[in-house]
Amino acid sequence: MDKVIVKSPLSGVIYPIEQVPDPVFSQKMVGDGISIDPVNNVLVAPFDGTVTQVHSACHAVTITHQTGLEVMMHIGIDTVALKGKGFTAHVKEGQEVKQGDELISIDMDLVATSAKSLLTQVILTNGELVADVVKANGLAEHAVTDLMTVTLKRDTGDGEKESGLEVLSEALVVPNPTGLHARPAAVLAALAKKFDARIELIKGEERVNAKSVVGIMKLNVAHLDKIQLRAIGPDSESAVAEILPQIAGGLGDEGTTPVSVPASTELSEDQTMVTGPKSGDPNLLLGVAAAPGIAVGKAVRVREEVFDFEEEADDAHHENVRLDNAIEEAKNYLEALQINLHKQSDGAKAAIFAAHREILDDPDLLDIARSLTAKGKSAEYAWQNAYTTLADQLAVLQNEILAGRANDLRDVGKRVLRILTGKEPEELQLPDVAILVAEELTPSFTATIDTTKVKGFCTTTGGATSHVAILARSLDIAAVAGIEAEALEIQDGTPLILNGGKGTLRINPSDELIRQTLEEQAAMQEQKEKDLAAAGEAAVTTDGKRMEVVANIGGVEEARESITLGGEGVGLLRSEFLFLKRTTAPTEDEQYEVYRDVLLALEGRPLIVRTLDVGGDKPLPYLPMPVEENPFLGQRGIRIGLERPEIFRVQARAILRAGAYGKIRIMFPMIATIQEFREARQMLEVEREKLGVAPIEVGIMVEVPSTAVMAEQFAKEVDFFSVGTNDLTQYCLAMDRGHPKLASKVDGMDPSVLRMIRQAAEGAHSQGKWIGVCGGLASDPDAVPILIGLGVDELSVSVPALPSIKAEVRNWSESDCRKLAEDGIHCVSSSEVRELVGNAR
């Protein structure tokens, strides 16, 4: 049997791979191996071989031995996010290397301060070749220590069945912000290995074995790249059907919005079959629901604006002056637009253009442009180059919000380019009822859409959280993002039905379908108008039970909007949302000002501020958190406040001071024990006494089962409860709320969760306290009668849901709700509960 000695590529302390604080490695999803905490800064070749993969971020490299054994070396954890910063590769793919040759240099200071960990994994990625491995321990010396002695199997056949049905999937856009790096690649390979079929991942002309982590990484799949799967074998159909949605959902990668974004298929027509989230009907295209509503109209294609200009220029100074003037003109225009929108009380739009105005002050943008004019480029060329470079960089960031802003950057970039070139925006020829079809729409274009004619739009790019989607919702027109690229082939004038709630586009519908849809649309519109007209009225059941319906907000704008939609106050201000984009902690005064402004916007209505709730799925850039094995069960919610009292005390003081401007309450997140509550309340009390202000009501979130079960005891000490059903459901069912595979099962209507809510309500009421629900369940119309029946007093819902949830309350009698809830908790599943509600309507 062949043996391969893997020499240590680094010097340092050896750790078992099982101890690496990243499940992708510790659970050996990439393969078996060893981890090293490095003390030197050059990674060297572990044996003579060929460099078969160098990641574009230079943090990972694979060497293949002549026997076929592959060893991947992955420097640090989550270092892909550094996008190459701190690493210098000395080798290229395909290069032959000798044991001890330098592969990658590491800037230890930079990487150590920017990455989660420097632990470097040395992994045998094609474990199917390995019969046995003997691992070293203790200290390793680079190029000297025998890190692993690998005995290879004789038979290396992979058992794949190359015969059978061939299935080619549709093309998918990869949603992972940093592409298919080691983590998602490992998840994908592990999924693929479950099947007998040969499975390939295809990008453009290249295809690799989807069961090989290195193969996948070699493909260098970046954010928004289009990929396809090809499977041949007895289980090819189920392989593609199972794996494709996982890729669309981000393969469990952090920062990925798990939406399905089909893209055009670029393969030939003679493919055997197509599976995945395609409708199967050539006249029905699928996308992502971006703004609700149904639109019936004629197609109008909006094309990418093309600019004509010279690339070269003679006088750099002159070009800089031209650019400065154009930027200044664009700024003035945006400022005027913003003031105008504020006057029209359109805060959401005004905020978008305020952000555009700020983009124009970005020093990077100007630096790039000026460096090009200095090289003899025209102002137009330099500017276009600058904003597209930055937009492309933003688009791949791990921060979904910033990535979504790439479109804003292109938008504002084109505005300046139009001024420079003197090009007028092209006028669209619109029929009476139009549905726009585009690859991408800019926020400026969207904000100026003539809504008397345009009833909806669909784009092949984007998602539900983009500014364009937000604008569509504020314009009250239907929108679908990420629609299949076939949409771009639709001829102008083709009849269409766009369903913004379902994320579908029907091409050439029959007259009968158009008639039915128009009827449905009219009924929906009528209901919406009725709900909105009644939004200012109280939400009272038919037998007189009054429910308080308040809003969940993340900032001042939403507070204002909630009032116009009948919000009776704020049941949850997610204070962490106010500071998500910051890189430094907000000061007491900054926090105070925001809480004060929210209270002023609420005009006397009550406000519940939840103290900082980070950890688990909510990282804060300015608050680095230690890597934890179980973040949802670790330092999260109030535990952070108790461990770092200075953070808690600053926020408590800001909330107490803002109390002078209205009715403010404070609420602690993730309380699991009475001791936690007492400690937090004690700290609050100390600050209150120091400030000499009046006491405020102190409540807790009920989102941990222990608190629901002990509600009666808690109720003796707290002023109110608010049930966080998002977390309560995940902790009750032991299902990660963000897990791509479990998401559809984490349903707060599960009878076990309903029983906990009932127990919490009984506990609260036994001591004369009130209980609300601020988790997502409160915004779900089907859950409304159940929550009323369980004894809930307040529903805190997402802002747009305010009118419809109030209307839903008015549809029911409390006595019927009680019966329904009683039956609900005796059901065996959430779907049974939902059926029960459906039948009772």
Q: Which does 774 bind (CB under 5 to 8 A by kind): Mg ion, ligand PEP, none?
A: ligand PEP
Q: In the set 292, 724, 740, 785, which binds ligand PEP (CB under 6 A)?
A: 724
Nearest CB to ligand PEP, comparing residues 441 and 612? 612
Nearest CB to ligand PEP, comparing residues 703 and 736? 703
Cβ 710 to Mg ion, closest distance in Å? 18
Nearest CB to ligand PEP, comparing residues 333 and 632? 632
Measured CA to CA, the distance from residue 543 to residue 810 in angstroms comes to 9
Cβ 615 to Mg ion, closest distance in Å? 10
Nearest CB to Mg ion, comparing residues 225 and 703? 703
- Per CB under 6 A, the segment of 133-141, 156-164, 724-732, 805-813 that binds ligand PEP is 724-732
Question: How many of the other CB atoms lie within 10 Å of CB of 154?
Answer: 7
Q: Which does 574 bind (CB under 5 to 8 A by kind): ligand PEP, Mg ion, none?
A: ligand PEP
Element (H, E) at 496: strand 495-499
Measured CA to CA, the distance from residue 71 to residue 30 in angstroms comes to 11
Longest alpha-carbon distance in the chain: 83
What are the tokens at 620? 């804060």
Closest by CA position to 211, among listed 63, 58, 72, 31: 31
Nearest CB to ligand PEP, comparing residues 384 and 722? 722
Nearest CB to ligand PEP, comparing residues 24 and 733? 733
The type of residue at 394 is L
Q: Which residues contribute to the site for Mg ion (CB under 5 A)? A: 703, 724, 727
By residue count, the chain amounts to: 841
Q: Is 726 in the site for ligand PEP (CB under 6 A)?
A: yes
What proportions of the chain, in percent to the nearest 5, are helix, strand and coil?
Answer: 40, 20, 40
The CA-to-CA distance between both ends of the chain, in Å, stands at 71
Measured CA to CA, the distance from residue 516 to residue 510 in angstroms comes to 10
Pick out residues in 215-244 that bind ligand PEP (CB under 6 A).
Answer: none
- Choose the catalytic residue: 58, 458, 732, 774: 774
Element (H, E) at 681: helix 674-691
Cβ 783 to Mg ion, closest distance in Å? 17
Query: CA dist 530 to 354, 523, 534, Å?
Result: 34, 10, 6
Cβ 769 to ligand PEP, closest distance in Å? 19
Nearest CB to ligand PEP, comparing residues 326 and 728? 728
Q: At CB < 8 A and 24+ separation, what contacts does 800-805 make? A: 800/473, 800/565, 802/535, 802/549, 802/551, 802/562, 802/565, 802/566, 802/567, 803/528, 803/531, 803/532, 803/534, 803/535, 803/565, 803/566, 804/528, 804/531, 805/539, 805/549, 805/778, 805/779, 805/781
- Per CB under 6 A, the segment of 124-132, 725-733, 755-763, 799-807 that binds ligand PEP is 725-733
Q: For residue 759, how far is the Cα from the chain centroid?
A: 33
Nearest CB to ligand PEP, comparing residues 73 and 802? 802
Q: Which does 725 bind (CB under 5 to 8 A by kind): ligand PEP, Mg ion, none?
A: ligand PEP
Nearest CB to ligand PEP, comparing residues 467 and 574? 574
Q: Is 636 in the site for ligand PEP (CB under 6 A)?
A: no
- Choose the catalytic residue: 58, 467, 732, 817: 467
Q: At residue 615, what are phi and psi to the nearest 5 degrees?
A: 100, 170
DSSP 733-754: HT--TT-TTTGGG--TTSHHHH
Q: Which does 499 bind (CB under 5 to 8 A by kind): Mg ion, ligand PEP, none?
A: none
- Per CB under 6 A, the segment of 59-67, 337-345, 721-729, 797-805 that binds ligand PEP is 721-729
Q: Is 8 in the site for ligand PEP (CB under 6 A)?
A: no
Nearest CB to ligand PEP, comparing residues 63 and 728? 728
Measured CA to CA, the distance from residue 595 to residue 578 in angstroms comes to 10
- Per CB under 6 A, the segment of 324-332, 338-346, 460-468, 723-731 that binds ligand PEP is 723-731
- Per CB under 6 A, the segment of 170-178, 378-386, 435-443, 718-726 that binds ligand PEP is 718-726
Cβ 658 to ligand PEP, closest distance in Å? 21
- Per CB under 6 A, the segment of 258-266, 348-356, 720-728, 800-808 that binds ligand PEP is 720-728
Q: Is 126 in the site for ligand PEP (CB under 6 A)?
A: no
What are the tokens at 522? 């009219």
* Angle formed at CA 356 by CA 350 and CA 359, multiple of 5 degrees: 145
DSSP 255-297: T------EE---S-TT-S---SS--S-TTEEE-EEEE--EEEE
Cβ(538)–Cβ(516) below 8 Å: no
Nearest CB to ligand PEP, comparing residues 659 and 724? 724
90 is a catalytic site residue? no
Measured CA to CA, the distance from residue 327 to residue 360 in angstroms comes to 7
817 is a catalytic site residue? no
Nearest CB to Mg ion, comparing residues 566 and 637? 637
What are the tokens at 411? 């938008």
Nearest CB to ligand PEP, comparing residues 613 and 736? 613
- Per CB under 6 A, the segment of 298-306, 517-525, 641-649, 722-730 that binds ligand PEP is 722-730
Cβ 291 to ligand PEP, closest distance in Å? 23
Q: Is 779 in the site for ligand PEP (CB under 6 A)?
A: no
Q: Is 613 in the site for ligand PEP (CB under 6 A)?
A: yes
Cβ 500 to Mg ion, closest distance in Å? 29
Pick out residues in 472-491 that bind ligand PEP (CB under 6 A).
Answer: none
Cβ 561 to ligand PEP, closest distance in Å? 19
Q: Is 725 in the site for ligand PEP (CB under 6 A)?
A: yes
Measured CA to CA, the distance from residue 841 to residue 225 in angstroms comes to 45
Q: Which residues contact 147 (CB under 8 A, 6 or more apart)?
A: 6, 7, 8, 9, 14, 34, 36, 46, 122, 135, 136, 140
Q: Which does 49 bind (CB under 5 to 8 A by kind): Mg ion, ligand PEP, none?
A: none
* Angle formed at CA 82 by CA 81 and CA 87, multiple of 5 degrees: 135
Cβ 630 to ligand PEP, closest distance in Å? 16
Residue ranges in 579-622 assigned as alpha helix (H): 588-602
Cβ 709 to ligand PEP, closest distance in Å? 17
Q: Is 774 in the site for ligand PEP (CB under 6 A)?
A: yes
Cβ 331 to Mg ion, closest distance in Å? 40
Q: In the set 225, 484, 676, 727, which binds ligand PEP (CB under 6 A)?
A: 727
Q: Is 775 in the site for ligand PEP (CB under 6 A)?
A: yes
Q: Which residue has the tokens 């910063």?
A: 85
Cβ 724 to ligand PEP, closest distance in Å? 3
x/- track of binding to ligand PEP for residues 258-297 (CB under 6 A): ----------------------------------------
**Strand (E) positions, 369-433?**
none
Q: Is 574 in the site for ligand PEP (CB under 6 A)?
A: yes
Measured CA to CA, the distance from residue 194 to residue 233 in angstroms comes to 13
Q: Is 794 in the site for ligand PEP (CB under 6 A)?
A: no
8-state DSSP, 620 = B
Q: How many residues bind ligand PEP (CB under 6 A)?
A: 10
**Starting from the edge strand earliest in sequence, which strands make up the sheet with 87-89, in order?**
42-44, 102-106, 87-89
Cβ 737 to ligand PEP, closest distance in Å? 8
| Catalytic center residues | 467, 774
Q: What are the residues binding ligand PEP (CB under 6 A)?
A: 572, 574, 613, 703, 724-727, 774-775
